[in-house]
Structure 1
Amino acid sequence: MEVVIRRANATHYELATGVFTRSLDAANTLSRALRVGTVWVNCYDVFDATIPFGGYKMSGVGREKGIYALRNYLKTKAVVTPIKDPAWL
């Protein structure tokens, strides 16, 4: 996993990534280690108006959407995972 993290973080454009795994530990480790603005876990290209969007390094400045659009001086990361049978549905 260390090699994957090192190679993924070596790019100049770190906007978003998807992690597909059955291991919650692997998902958490990769979500924390990858220097990207959005990490989708076991899904991809899922957006919501309240989820901040934007990248690190050469993938833009700041964040769009949600309250994070006002916090352009922080490194924010969104981690998105699908929930089976959510209580509110």
Structure 2
Amino acid sequence: MNWTSIVAIYALFWVMTAFVILPIGVRTHEELGLPKVPGQADSAPGNFQPGTILLRTTLLSAALFGLYYANYVNGWVDRHSFDWLISRPV
């Protein structure tokens, strides 16, 4: 696998896991008992921590990409693993 493919696939894993990680642990101002700024949306996060989100996203995407790459090298799951999905004429 080329290094450019590795970077591109890792970036895809990173973006997908970012969308999974973003809502975890985020609370609104109302849930935290904090005062709201005039004009603020009711759903705005009160405890947004971008550094924590970046770290969690990077760690999870690295683990998932590691599994993907190990499967690529060892061939645990390949296209023949899904032959049961193809209906064959009798």
TM bucket (normalised to shorter chain) is under 0.3
Larger proportion of strand: 1
TM-score, length-normalised on structure 1? 0.25
Larger proportion of helix: 2
Higher RCO structure (Cα 8 Å, ≥6 apart) = 2
Larger Rg: 2
